[in-house]
Amino acid sequence: MFITASGRWDYYYVLTSVALLSIAAAGVWLTFYIGRINIGQGAYALTGGYVSAVLITQTGVSFWLSLPLAGLFCAVVAVLIGLPILRLRGVYFAMVTLVLTEVARLTALALPVTNGAKGITSIPMPGEVSLFGLTVIPDFATLQNPKLAFYLLAAGLMVLTYLVLWRIVNSRLGHLCRSLQQNEELSASIGVNTAMLRVMAYAISSFFGGISGAVFVAISQSIYPSSFVVQDSVNFMLYCFLGGLGYVFGPMLGTLLLYFGWDLLSAAGQYQLLIYSGSMIALMLWLPNGLLSLLDRREGRK
């Protein structure tokens, strides 16, 4: 209603970006939930974007089919990569994931199918989806305001992602994953298949990254090797820290605040990065469990 009243249609793009970034951050949070520090989510967002772009432009697959395929491809890649590296813990696993985004970028530069540094451009917008002759989803290219359509798509995917994440955490699988965070040796001693749980959580995490990257590509109608860089992977992790690692909806809140906070600080000019970094350090010292921990303090819980 505010956007309609103000006529600032560009805010739809801002909110769409926040929604998609929070989807990728949700995957990073799930990796934290099993006790691993994931700084490589940008690699899966980039991979998902390229998979969707290649399928749409070179095979004629519709965007709606390429979306889950991009997520599944990233999940399969995560299983292959995760089998060896998920044995590592702490800073060792984090350092390995840190290079994944750069590896994905260099791979996109080298492969002919990705068109190298030129990237893939002129990607068609999501087409129409019909069911029994009725239009369920209109062709985005024919809409007067496709930004609103993309916002509804991103917001819907975000809600669905966090519902899935909440269900995982509050299921038997989630309780087993939490046991990995506390003590893997103890979990294994009582018969928990810790290796399978680690890989499963990492695959789901990468699936989220893949679908967020695929929607980003549909919005921008282009993708380049630099579309997602190491800084994006670091930001995904910061979103989780700021919102709260102990809360399912922490990444969503952290994404919203950091995205708008960075834009607001642009008025500070050359001091923008200094103020931003100082604020992040202060928040982590004052609220090590994230902003949502304020709710626990208010209720008298530690």
pLDDT of residue 27: 95
Q: CA 105, 110, 111: angle at the middle one, nearest 5?
A: 105
Helix or strand holding residue 202 (H, E): helix 194-220
Q: How would you label 254-270 residue by residue, b for 16+ Cβ within 10 Å and e otherwise? A: bbbbbbeeeeebeeeee
| Domain around 158 | 11-129+140-230
Amino acid found at 3? I
Give the pLDDT confidence score for residue 41 in this predicted structure: 96
Distance (Å, whole) CA 210 – CA 198: 18
Query: Whole-prediction pTM value?
Result: 0.91
With contact defined as beta carbons under 8 Å apart, do 89 and 83 qualify? no
Q: Whole-angstrom Cα distance, residue 97 to residue 101?
A: 8
Q: How far apart are CA 212 and CA 260, in angstroms?
A: 19
For residue 208, tell me if it sits in a domain: yes
Percent of the chain whose predicted confidence (pLDDT) is above 90: 60
Query: CB of 187 within 8 A of CB of 195?
Result: no
Band (298; pLDDT cuts 50, 70, 90): low
Please compute the mean of the pLDDT values over residues 31-53 and round it to a whole number.
Answer: 95
**What are 237-289's pLDDT values in tens digits?**
999 988 988 899 999 999 998 888 877 777 777 888 888 888 888 888 888 88
| 294 lies in some domain | no
Question: Looking at the predicted structure, is the pLDDT value of residue 188 above 70?
Answer: yes
Q: Are 82 and 67 in contact (CB under 8 A)?
A: no
Asked if residue 268 is part of any domain, the answer here is no
How many domains, the chain?
1
